[in-house]
């Protein structure tokens, strides 16, 4: 079954969808995965591209595509070109702000995933949902 037809509610599936491509980027990029009520893929929107170590995106830019396309839920994904998928303090504060904005907009924020490089003992991504933050 193609990914576009599957229920995209796990970080593994999102990693399968975007990980290979985003891991190769040399600058930080933030994308938002738009999902319908059955958590099926509507589209992926590129929201911002930053420097080598920073992608600054305001919740307004991140949720704009979700509002435009009437998405039921979103998953925010960005990469760390360094390969280290550990979240920074900025990543943590952005996630908190996104959770607050999602709540107000009544759009489900399913996860915020950071793509890095797979290493021994690490799948190459960090999921705020798996970590219990979301």
State the pLDDT at residue 53. 59
State the pLDDT at residue 55. 60
State the pLDDT at residue 54. 58
Burial group, residue 76, by CB count within 10 angstroms (0-12, 13-18, 19+): buried
Cβ atoms of residues 66 and 107 within 8 Å: yes
State the pLDDT at residue 51. 62
Helix, strand, or coil here: 49? strand
Q: What is the dihedral of CA 55, 95, 117, 28, to 10 degrees?
A: -10
Helices (H), 75-117: 89-105
Mean pLDDT by 10 residues, the chain (134 residues): 84 95 93 97 91 72 97 97 94 95 98 94 93 94
Question: Rounded to 5 degrees, what angle do the CA atoms 131, 50, 41 make?
Answer: 55
Burial group, residue 61, by CB count within 10 angstroms (0-12, 13-18, 19+): middle
Tell me which CATH homologous superfamily contains domain 3-120: Cytidine Deaminase, domain 2 (3.40.140.10)
Check residue 5 and report its DSSP letter.
Answer: G
How far is the C-alpha of 92 from the C-alpha of 95, rounded, in Å? 5
β partners of residue 48: 30
State the pLDDT at residue 49. 78
How far is the C-alpha of 23 from the C-alpha of 16, rounded, in Å? 11
State the pLDDT at residue 120. 86
């Amino acid at each position: 079954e193609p990914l576009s037809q599957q229920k995209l509610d796990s970080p593994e599936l999102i990693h399968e969808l975007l990980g290979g491509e985003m891991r190769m980027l040399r600058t930080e990029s933030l994308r938002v995965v738009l999902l319908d009520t059955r958590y099926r893929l509507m589209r992926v929107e590129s929201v911002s591209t930053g420097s080598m170590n920073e992608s600054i995106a305001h919740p307004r830019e991140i949720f704009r595509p979700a509002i435009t396309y009437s998405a039921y839920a979103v998953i925010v994904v960005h990469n760390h070109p360094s390969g280290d998928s550990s979240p920074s303090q900025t990543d943590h504060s952005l996630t908190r702000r996104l959770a607050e904005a999602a709540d107000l907009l009544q759009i489900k924020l399913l996860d915020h995933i950071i793509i890095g490089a797979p290493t021994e003992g690490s799948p190459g991504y960090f999921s705020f949902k798996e970590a219990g933050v979301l």
